Amino acid sequence: MNDFMDDFNSPQTPSSPAKPPVSGAAQERVFTSADVYEAGKLTPVHEDSVLMEIFKGILGAVVGAIPGVLLWILIGRVGFIAAICGAILAGGTVAGYIFMSKDNFLPQSYGVIICLAVIIIAVFLAQKIVWCWEIADVFERYFGDYRKEMYEVGDAAGMSRSEVDAVIDSTIKEEFGFSDVSFGNCFSNFGRMLGNLGMRGKYFLNLLECYGFAALGGGSLFAKFAKK
């Protein structure tokens, strides 16, 4: 009992204080599988954001090109040189891209590629439409006069109008791939038609001229944007 009391009354040794946290590598956070999973879920979100910004840029470029394409076709239909609209088309394309992507984080190279692709396609389609409409108008006048002459020959030879039409339609189809001279048929058989008319060189030379005007319009505007 006395021993017990002596032990009870004897001064107690103070407990050792808690060791301070170890600095350095021991304090680094240990990532768990949950952390890895959460980090992995962030990547698709970023990729979706990039795709959305690219889509917005393409949409802006296409919408910006539409007024230039419509003006190109209108001017070409009335007989003026439509290539002068290349600068307007390209400028609208670049302006539309800038408007839709002014707050995004895409590199400038993305804008150059998107705008160039839209301009190239828009100029090609606009000029092809102008040429197809012009050729369809010329063909309509030419073959209209040609049928009248052939009707007179057919009357002298005792042929009916339907027989003359059948001969003419067969000749046209064999030459161009279609018998109904319309804008749609000219557009669908454009390459073959140019080849048979011997106008491929003239068309591609004119197309290069159009791209030159487009480069002047789009290049200057995009250069101003790049300096900002």
State the SS3 of 69-83: HHHHHHHHHCCCCHH
Handedness of CA 94, 96, 97, 103 (dihedral sign): positive
Locate the domains of the chain by residue range: 48-227
**Integer CA distances (angstroms), 81 to 112, 152, 191, in order:** 27, 38, 22
Region 121-143: mean pLDDT is 89
pTM here?
0.67
Counting Cα atoms < 13 Å in the Cβ hemisphere of 77 gives: 10
Report residue 152 as tokens.
């007179």
Whether 14 has a pLDDT exceeding 80, the answer reads no
103 or 135, higher pLDDT: 135
Mean pLDDT estimate for the chain: 76
What span, in angstroms and rounded, lies between the C-alpha atoms of 96 and 128? Answer: 23
Q: Sorting pLDDT into bands at 50, 70 and 90, what band is 26?
A: very low
Whether 117 has a pLDDT exceeding 60, the answer reads yes
217 or 10, higher pLDDT: 217
Region 142-152: mean pLDDT is 80
Region 105-132: mean pLDDT is 88
pLDDT at 224: 62
Q: Sorting pLDDT into bands at 50, 70 and 90, what band is 220?
A: low
What span, in angstroms and rounded, lies between the C-alpha atoms of 45 and 23? Answer: 36
31 or 60, higher pLDDT: 60
Of 88, 114, 86, nearest in space to 100 by CA:
114
Highest mean pLDDT (candidates 74-83, 121-130, 167-176): 121-130
CB atoms within 10 A of CB 93: 33
pLDDT at 65: 93
What span, in angstroms and rounded, lies between the C-alpha atoms of 10 and 7? Answer: 5
Region 181-201: mean pLDDT is 86
Of 182, 99, 89, nearest in space to 143 by CA:
182
pLDDT at 214: 80
Region 120-147: mean pLDDT is 87
Whether 211 has a pLDDT exceeding 60, the answer reads yes
CB atoms within 10 A of CB 27: 8
Whether 44 has a pLDDT exceeding 80, the answer reads no
Instruction: Identify whether the C-beta of residue 193 lies closer than 8 Å to the C-beta of residue 186.
Output: yes
What span, in angstroms and rounded, lies between the C-alpha atoms of 35 and 76? Answer: 62
Q: Sorting pLDDT into bands at 50, 70 and 90, what band is 31?
A: very low
Each residue of 62-83: pLDDT tens digit? 999 999 899 988 888 876 766 6
